[in-house]
Chain A
Amino acid sequence: MDWSALSLSLQLAVMTVLLLLPLAVLLARPLAWVSFPGKGLIDALVTLPLLLPPTVLGFYLLGVFAPQGVLGQTWLALTGRSLVFSFDGLLAASLLVNIPFAVQPVQRAFEAIPREAREAAWCCGLSPWRTLWRVELPLAWPGLASAMVLTFVHTLGEFGVVLMVGGNLDGATRTLSIAIYDRVQAFDDSGAARMSLLLVLIAFAAVGSLHFFTRKVGRRGN
């Protein structure tokens, strides 16, 4: 078992979820409730990472993350760190490729909240911020939970983008899925098998917990 790869994958997945979820809420609410010019375009952009081959994304990200690239240069100037072949870059890429997995379930959940529920909260004197916390997020919880689980599991499993943007650096960018690829090439089948089994178990546990949570909420709601 490649423990550093496991730890790296978990760090990446947790940080992706923690950073992306607030962003997803911020993005999904207007997409769910407000109609504005260009909304279709934003909807399409949000879905795009889902449809593009990971290598295409990886290729473009490599371009902008490189020390000569726009983002890479800025990041280097700001932090003194490289964005390609580093955990920072991996996290940035992970945030990007997970946008559809985080935004879409949250958007669907917000769309399902009746307008009257929010209006009732406002008429009770709740500020928009408190309405978000007391009414919208609890009602959107099943969507938030699926966004978290999908993003988490998808981050653990992402391969193509990670390989292209991160390389295969032990302890820095070698995630569990890359380590499995690595182990297979090193003819270490048992190592690959253990790590693959672990990923399968994590995915099962995540989907199982999602089922558990959403069912619990469903019972509570109706």
Chain B
Amino acid sequence: MATDGGPLEVDLRQQTPIPLDCAFDCAPGELLALVGPSGSGKTTVLRCIAGLHRAAQGAIRSNGATWFDERICLPPQQRRAGFVFQNYSLLPHLSALDNVMLALGDVPPRERAATARNWLARVHLQGLDARRPAQLSGGQQQRVALARALARAASGPAAAGGGVLLMDEPFSAVDQVTRGKLRAELARLRQELAIPIVLVTHDLDEARQLADRMVVLHRGKALQTGTSEDVLLRPCSPAVARLVGLTNLFAGTVGIDSGRPCLEWAGRRLAIADSCGCAPGSAVNWVIPAEGVLLHRPDSPSRGEAENPVTGTITEALRMGSFTQLTLSIPGEAQPLVFQASSHTAQRNKLGPGQAASVTLLAERIHLMPAE
């Protein structure tokens, strides 16, 4: 439907009231997630883009048009930013249709009702036009809010480009089943939208499922920008690793083994696929995802020599449905190693606290980063 416009370019810096230091862009059709703990400034960034907050310095451009720089700060009315608020923020005295029509000020009056109905239909709210917010469920209210924001960002002249969709924790106020449905719907809708979409969330699963790229924010600073795979498997710093909840974070040194870089850790030498630019002899932090840790099963021994074998003692075995989360204490390392095995395997091998277990650390899943 919408033709391609230019990207949304954001560069914000300020000290107070909330420090900000971040720059990113978001192409039409791209969904960018701003992730970070609460208080990290994600919402403030979103409000800056919408024109609800003015940063001290920086610039915001959409489709080539300047929304904000040293001289210009357009009011929200002149920015084509559809905003989905955390608590819907529908106007309680207006029907669903009227709420959506409110955002269609640039559409010729005769076409407004039809356009609004169309948006409501696209979020599957046909027939609920006349309901007031109080007569809708939480999920339905959020769909109206989404339709309203889309109507603002992608109707009328906006379809020619320049509109952006901003969502602030849009699914946090609904129950989990509804949340799942809404996410799926957003994933489907965004394929039809050729506008930049910025999603603020503290839910990494949500970011991974929906976003093309994510920006990790901490205290207003953008620590890493990249695809969800980049960020979750190859964090650029221990801080990012911690923020995205990576548990297997250890310290080590880059060594040389047979002329190839290796990882020296807890008195062991681990083979690595890539030194990630860390020079031999330098102190590093490294991570390995739970999927990179493979259990050696005494009931079916692996053929050949296992890669990076590590032996330790199980300190905890948590059955979590079809898999069991195992915590392994390793000699020479204070941090435990966490990994998963199928509950079936764990049961058959009687894995429990006090048991010794051996695992393989897949070399290609080991990621190195400069130490803090």
Contact = CB atoms under 8 A, between A and B. Distances in A.
Interface of A: 114, 116-117, 119-127, 134-135, 138-139, 217, 220-222
Please give me the 9 A-B residue pairs with the lowest Cβ-Cβ distance, nearest first: A124-B103, A116-B89, A122-B76, A123-B83, A120-B89, A125-B105, A221-B92, A124-B102, A138-B93
Query: What is the predominant secondary structure among interface residues of chain A facing chain B?
Result: helix
B132 A114 contact: no
A120 B92 CA distance: 12
Contacts of A217: 93
Contact of B76 (A123, A220, A222): A123
B152 A221 contact: no
A61 B22 CA distance: 60
Contact of A220 (B93, B103, B106): B93
Given A124-B103, A217-B93, 7 more contacts: A116-B85, A120-B83, A120-B90, A123-B149, A125-B77, A134-B102, A139-B91
Interface size class of B (residues with CB under 8 A): 20 to 34
Nearest to B151: A124
Nearest to B82: A123
Nearest to B52: A119
A139 B105 contact: no
Contacts of A123: 50-52, 76, 81-83, 149, 152
A80 B81 CA distance: 55
Contact of A126 (B50, B85, B105, B134): B105
Nearest to A219: B134
Interface of B: 50-52, 75-77, 81-83, 85, 87, 89-93, 102-103, 105-106, 132, 134, 148-149, 152
Contacts of A221: 92-93, 134
A135 B98 CA distance: 12
B206 to A, nearest CB: 21
A130 to B, nearest CB: 8
Contacts of A138: 93
Given A119-B89, A120-B89, A125 B103 contact: yes
A217 B134 CA distance: 12
